[in-house]
């Protein structure tokens, strides 16, 4: 089979994996939303962390058994930001429309660009600058400061946490697999998660909440399915070639929110989402164009 045909086959497969993966990620969000804001949040996070760790055991061959604690300081930082991000994301999903919360979460890639400038002295291109400015305007359009509440603040905190967690990956040892990094972020967060769970369990006398437990199991399974699909998608193609497929998650969120929760997207959501996503897609296309090898004379 010609090389171009093989490449095209891998590219199509990667796009399908990302589209399906983002659908599973939204299903995970739907399960959390159904759980409701009255469920004990730390109990949910505690059970979810245990389930994810159990699922990761099936991928133990990808663990770094020789230097498991390499980069410990940055693993700890990622564990903390992932914990804060989980609290924020769960709060946002239970208080905001599904599509609105996810639209704000897409601010994370823009924040990663800004953090890369501060932490790694990277320079923004004109397309990056456009994506940053347009993204911030998009979030303002969606949230509209006059309607800013706990849900919106939680969504913004979630986006910042996702961005910090993502940018810290570059500080981790390059020889460690994504599975090992996922293991460390959950394992190192477990003591803090457990302490918060015990505090909530004792002081609030919540008891075991069936909805929180079932939601934790279901959402973690779909979240892991998303992670695996992303790993497989990026394994055979360059990330810049298929990154735009990640934004189909926003389409899934809008459709499922409309059908399942009767959340009809308004003009502000549509306009703001376009301001966030379109520049990111254009940036991805531009990066792909610049990285494409020139044809031989």
Per residue in 203-260, pLDDT (tens digit) is: 877 788 888 999 999 999 998 888 878 767 766 555 555 566 777 888 889 899 999 9
* Distance, CA of 180 to CA of 63 (rounded, Å): 5
Return the residue matching tokens 């006059």: 146
Phi, psi torsion values for 293, nearest 5 degrees: -65, 145
Return the residue matching tokens 């609290």: 87
Whether pLDDT at 167 is above 90: no
Percent of the chain with pLDDT over 70: 87
More confident of the two residues 228 and 153: 153
More confident of the two residues 213 and 285: 213
Summary mean pLDDT of the chain: 84
Residue 66: partners with Cβ closer than 8 Å, 6 or more residues away: none
The model carries a pTM of 0.84
Task: Report helix, strand or coil for 109.
Answer: helix
Mean of the pLDDT values across residues 134-161? Answer: 85
CB 39 within 8 A of CB 211: yes
Question: What are the angstrom distances between the C-alpha of 72 and each of 21, 53, 109, 119?
Answer: 29, 18, 24, 18
pLDDT band at 5 (very low <50, low <70, confident <90, very high): very low
8-49 pLDDT per residue, tens? 676 677 778 888 888 998 999 999 999 988 889 999 999 999
111-138 pLDDT per residue, tens? 888 888 888 887 877 878 888 888 888 8
Domain chopping of the chain, boundaries: 38-287
102-117 pLDDT per residue, tens? 988 888 888 888 888 8
* Distance, CA of 230 to CA of 224 (rounded, Å): 10
How many other C-beta atoms are found inside a 10 Å radius of the C-beta of residue 2?
A: 7
Whether pLDDT at 4 is above 60: no
């Amino acid at each position: 089979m010609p090389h171009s045909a093989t490449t095209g086959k891998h590219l199509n497969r990667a796009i399908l994996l990302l589209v399906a993966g983002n659908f599973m990620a939204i299903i995970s969000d739907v399960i959390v939303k159904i759980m409701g804001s009255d469920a004990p949040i730390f109990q949910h996070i505690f059970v979810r962390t245990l389930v994810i760790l159990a699922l990761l055991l099936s991928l133990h061959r990808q663990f770094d058994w020789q230097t498991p604690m390499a980069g410990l300081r940055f693993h700890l930082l990622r564990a903390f930001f992932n914990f804060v991000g989980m609290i924020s994301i769960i709060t946002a999903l239970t208080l905001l429309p599904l599509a609105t919360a996810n639209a704000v979460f897409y601010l994370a890639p823009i924040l990663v660009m800004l953090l890369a400038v501060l932490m790694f002295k990277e320079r923004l291109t004109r397309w990056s600058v456009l994506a940053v400015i347009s993204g911030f305007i998009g979030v303002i359009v969606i949230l509209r400061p006059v309607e800013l509440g706990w849900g919106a603040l939680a969504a913004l905190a979630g986006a910042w946490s996702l961005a910090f967690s993502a940018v810290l990956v570059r500080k981790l040892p390059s020889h460690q697999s994504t599975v090992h990094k996922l293991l460390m972020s959950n394992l190192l967060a477990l003591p803090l998660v457990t302490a918060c769970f015990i505090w909530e369990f004792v002081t609030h006398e919540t008891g075991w909440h069936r909805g929180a437990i079932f939601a934790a199991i279901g959402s973690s399974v779909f979240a892991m399915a998303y992670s695996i699909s992303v790993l497989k998608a990026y394994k055979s193609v360059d990330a810049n070639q298929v990154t735009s497929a990640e934004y189909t998650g926003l389409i899934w969120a809008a459709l499922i929110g409309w059908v399942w929760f009767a959340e009809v997207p308004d003009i502000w959501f549509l306009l703001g989402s376009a301001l966030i996503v379109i520049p990111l897609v254009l940036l991805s296309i531009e990066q792909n164009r610049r990285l494409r090898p020139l044809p031989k004379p």
